[in-house]
Amino acid sequence: MQVKPVVRPRPCLPYNIWRIDNRLRLAATPPELRHPVSEYFRRNFSITTSGHFCTPSLLAAIALLGDDRVMFSVDYPFEDMAQAAIWFDGLDLPDGQWRSIAHDNAVVLLGLRDLLPAIPAGRGAASGLSSR
């Protein structure tokens, strides 16, 4: 007989930053840190939309981390490229914010400024799939 593991939903780390800070603040022996854990997270982590094409979740991530720490991603082959592109291209974000998440943040994080040409202005330029 094969035993299957029980899969429990795990809360997403960015959405638990407040709780981590709060629990550490209330701890009997709080860690001696120069900044709250949330500040270290905001300075040192980036997240992607990989497999999560949910506008409210994206907006919450932007509000929590800033648009410079969020990147568009699909999680291919597990998610559909066209569905992701249509969702992302249709977001009601200012063009500069959309472009940062679509392209610029990854270029900066991965150190690709000298290797990649700039993408043309306009929605859909990064994916090329929403018109298919």
φ/ψ region of 12 (left if φ > 0, alpha if ψ in -120 to 50, else beta) reads: beta
75 is a catalytic site residue = yes
Q: Which of 21, 75, 80, 89 is catalytic?
A: 75
Structure confidence at residue 1 (pLDDT): 59
Residues forming a β-bridge with 71: 48
pLDDT digits (tens, 9 = 90+) for 51-94: 889 999 899 889 989 999 999 999 999 999 999 999 999 999 99
Q: Output the pTM of the full model.
A: 0.77
pLDDT digits (tens, 9 = 90+) for 7-54: 545 556 677 888 999 999 998 898 899 999 999 989 999 999 998 899
Structure confidence at residue 58 (pLDDT): 92
Structure confidence at residue 101 (pLDDT): 95
Structure confidence at residue 66 (pLDDT): 93
Structure confidence at residue 98 (pLDDT): 94
Distance CA 21, CA 35 (A): 10
Tell me if 132 sits within 8 A of 93, measured CB to CB. no
